[in-house]
Structure 1
Amino acid sequence: MKQAFLFLSLCAVINSSAQQTNYHFSSTDSTTASAEKIWQIWTNVPDWENWDKGLKDAQLFGTFMVGTRGTLIPDQGPKSKFIITEIVPGRSYTFKTRIPLGRLVIKRTLEGKNARTYFTHDVQFTGILKKILGNKLGKKYRLILPETLKNIRQMAETKEQLINTL
């Protein structure tokens, strides 16, 4: 039993450090706003640029569902295409975009507990150039991710307050 606990503890340490490199990182924030408000903000792709300061533009070509494609124009770098690859309605979604010899995978998840909504952005560069591209691109995005989540929180809370005052 003690060995199993040590093994699981080691796995947790390895996993948490893997998610805090420039090629795989995440950030979580929480709000009193409902999960539905966060979900509405997240799934309104043309408005992503309003809260994600790493984007100049984002477009979705169809309904927000698995298989739908879109485009992103980052603040630095070329326009890229993305595809929504996974959705758990109201809880999480994943989209992917190609990078040289790999992919950039963005997963966004929601969880409600203790009268708060916790929301997480997980960013992962994959492929043989993941460390190089992570250091070139991921480092900056890793630094602005907490501000991005703060922007989402503020938007959700403002929308929630407007509804509550009506």
Structure 2
Amino acid sequence: MDISHSIRVATPKDQVFTLYADVASWPTWDSELVDAYLPAFVQGASGWLKPRQGPKAKIKLVAIEQDASFIVESALPLCRVRFGHALTEEDGQTRVTHWVSFSGALAPLFRSLIARGIARGLPDTLEGLKHACEAKAQVA
């Protein structure tokens, strides 16, 4: 794991996971995204992300554990970037951790080119997720 950031959210894990499963809504709480698409939130599904900066990126949901975690992978030339999302219960709240790892022959190059920007964006992304989850819980 090259980059990691966590936040506590005052909603149960299943409610956070429900928001994750609504891929089309990701740009509403992740300020780094313009658009996102997966045909289904199931392991093996392929789609794409359009970040605010940079080209549209193909993604694949490579691992999923209901109400607990999922990993999305994107391929760059001779490099794989994994974006992990993990949920754990903690004192009646949910600890949400997002992490990013780089692997492959050109991982050091891509890490030096994009890791800093990803690391800068993670706190805002998690704050957006926290706000969306807690606002949705108040409405329910």
TM-score, scaled relative to structure 2: 0.94
Residue in structure 2 matched with residue 39 of structure 1 by the alignment? 17
Residue in structure 2 matched with residue 9 of structure 1 by the alignment? none
1:8-27 maps to which residues of 2 (within 5 A)? 19=1, 24-27=2-5
TM-fit CA distance, 1:120: 0.6
What is the letter of the counterpart of residue 118 of structure 1?
R
Residue in structure 2 matched with residue 49 of structure 1 by the alignment? 27
TM-fit CA distance, 1:37: 1.8
Q: Do 2:79 and 2:110's aligned partners in 1 also have CA atoms closer than 8 Å?
A: no
Pairing partner for 1:90 from 44, 53, 67: 67
Whole-Å separation in 1 of the counterparts to 2:128 and 2:54: 23
Residue in structure 2 matched with residue 101 of structure 1 by the alignment? 78
Whole-Å separation in 1 of the counterparts to 2:108 and 2:53: 18
Residue in structure 1 matched with residue 118 of structure 2 by the alignment? 141
Q: Which structure has greater strand proportion?
A: 2
Structure 2 unaligned residues grouped into runs of 5+: none
Whole-Å separation in 2 of the counterparts to 1:49 and 1:72: 10
Whole-Å separation in 2 of the counterparts to 1:130 and 1:84: 20
The two structures, once aligned, show a CA RMSD in angstroms of 1.2
Percent identity over the alignment is 28
Whole-Å separation in 2 of the counterparts to 1:90 and 1:160: 16
Q: Do 1:34 and 1:160's aligned partners in 2 also have CA atoms closer than 8 Å?
A: no
Pairing partner for 2:105 from 128, 143, 151: 128
Structure 1 unaligned residues grouped into runs of 5+: 1-18
TM-score, scaled relative to structure 1: 0.80
83-92 vs 72-81, greater mean Cα deviation: 72-81
TM-fit CA distance, 1:156: 0.5
Q: Which structure has greater helix proportion?
A: 1
Query: Which stretches of structure 1, 4 residues or longer, exceed 2 Å deviation after superposition?
Result: none
TM-fit CA distance, 1:135: 2.1
Residue in structure 1 matched with residue 42 of structure 2 by the alignment? 65
Residue in structure 2 matched with residue 3 of structure 1 by the alignment? none
What is the letter of the counterpart of residue 31 of structure 1?
V
